[in-house]
Structure 1
Amino acid sequence: MNGPTNSLDESGGPRRRGPRSGGDTRAALLRAAKEVFAERGYERATVRVIAERAGVDPAMVNHSFGGKEKLFAAAVELPFDPALVVETILAGEAESAPERLIATFVSVWDAHADGFAALVRSFSSTAAAAEMLRTALSRFVIGEALGRLGIDQPGVRGGLVASQIIGLGITRYTLRLEPMSTADPAWLVAVLAPTLRRYLFDELAPPSARD
């Protein structure tokens, strides 16, 4: 007598049948979320597709993580508490936000350099990791802080700042390129703050789509 066979989900992967333990469910959802978010981006990745990739009921996303946003944050595995970073960025006037942003991220990531490098390696490519990080930082950290500081266009400006911060992280901790890899944090703040100041305070035209 032949044993049961697994059906295929819409992504082509096997759909696992039968009950899972809570730990197995969380692990399966995290694996699937990393794949689907990297493939589709945050907006186009649906709870249904992630659950099907993991072989579980879509309701388990809410049960295990509290929704898509929290599942995304868990999948990215930021090596710091986003809420604490937001509060640090908010500890001052808007005019000094560029310096605080750089100083905060360098301080946090210097303390978790191996964690940053491991985070990048955990995705299928550096590009996939950078996009996941950009979304996480611009949505949950930088955009949140800029909005609370009263800076206009926090989404667009947050995306620009996140790209600069992620580039710093990749060159300093993953690729270890000079002068970024061994530069003193105060030097990084002095060199990079003018760029962030333009991103935060200069007038911005609406972003246009690439041809």
Structure 2
Amino acid sequence: MRKNGRTGRRPGTPDTRETILSAARDAFAEKGFDGATVRAIATAAAVDPALVHHYFGTKEQLFLAAMRIPVDPAEIIPVVVGGGPDNAGENLIRMFLKMWDSPFGSAGTALVRSAVSSEWTARLLREFLVTQLLRRITRELGVDPAEAPLRGALVASQIAGLAMTRYIIKLEPIASAAPELLIAAMGPTIQRYFTGPMNSPAP
């Protein structure tokens, strides 16, 4: 018998939130952030889409919850771009070091370790970096959309390298270097990737 005009959709229970998150992780890993939809995630979790919005709000918030990342890009991005395009490189490195030298660091380290050994986690981390951070930062900086994917990937290569050398394998002297030293050394490289000239390959 039909109730409330719906069939096959479970109302909220203590397990509903985790069921939605599990379905969301699978969808984001398989289809990416852009390809996954709240409706499809709700269908996989056997709940009404309204319940997904009730628990998590927007698709962006659902993605962050699925990733278990205790930071909100909406708070990070204004800090990175707040000083204008010419300061984005140093601002990004400074923000990265501040986050990873805080209690967030243990969660970030665990995520990177998992991504190295798990393609599923790697896909989720890649989607987070591309869609939630780099795409939005390059847009705010006014980067040419045709160049933005490559520029963002180059920035990510530096950030990932810093995460690995400082926090995972603890390569000295990077592991114990003062943050300001790393900001001064890496900021200009990040800045060039964001806004500097992109040399054309030799013919």
TM-score by length of 1: 0.71
> Superposition pairs for residues 1-211 of structure 1, below 5 Å?
19-111=10-102, 112-120=104-112, 125-153=117-145, 155-156=148-149, 157-173=151-167, 175-179=168-172, 180-204=174-198
Given that residues 12 and 51 in structure 2 are in contact (C-alpha distance below 8 angstroms), is that contact kept between their aligned partners in structure 1? no
- The structural deviation recorded for 1:23 is 4.0
- The structural deviation recorded for 1:88 is 1.5
Letter paired with 2:159: I
For CA contacts below 8 A with separation 6 or more, give which structure has more relative contact order: 2
Post-superposition Cα deviations, 1:103-153, rounded to whole Å, max 9, x if no partner, equal: 111111211211212334666945443442333233333433333333333
Gaps of 5+ in 1: 1-16, 207-211
Distance 1:82 1:182 in 2: 27
Given that residues 82 and 141 in structure 1 are in contact (C-alpha distance below 8 angstroms), is that contact kept between their aligned partners in structure 2? yes
- The structural deviation recorded for 1:76 is 1.8
Given that residues 134 and 162 in structure 1 are in contact (C-alpha distance below 8 angstroms), is that contact kept between their aligned partners in structure 2? no
Residues 135-144 or 111-120, more deviating: 135-144
RMSD of aligned alpha carbons:
3.1
- The structural deviation recorded for 1:196 is 1.4
TM-score by length of 2: 0.73
Alignment size in residue pairs:
189
Gaps of 5+ in 2: 1-7
Letter paired with 1:109: W
C-alpha spacing 1:187/1:127, structure 2 compared with 1 (3 Å)? farther
Distance 2:45 2:176 in 1: 41
Letter paired with 2:76: V
Letter paired with 1:114: S
Distance 2:27 2:186 in 1: 33
Letter paired with 1:176: I
Identity %: 41
Post-superposition Cα deviations, 1:169-191, rounded to whole Å, max 9, x if no partner, equal: 24433x33413433332232233
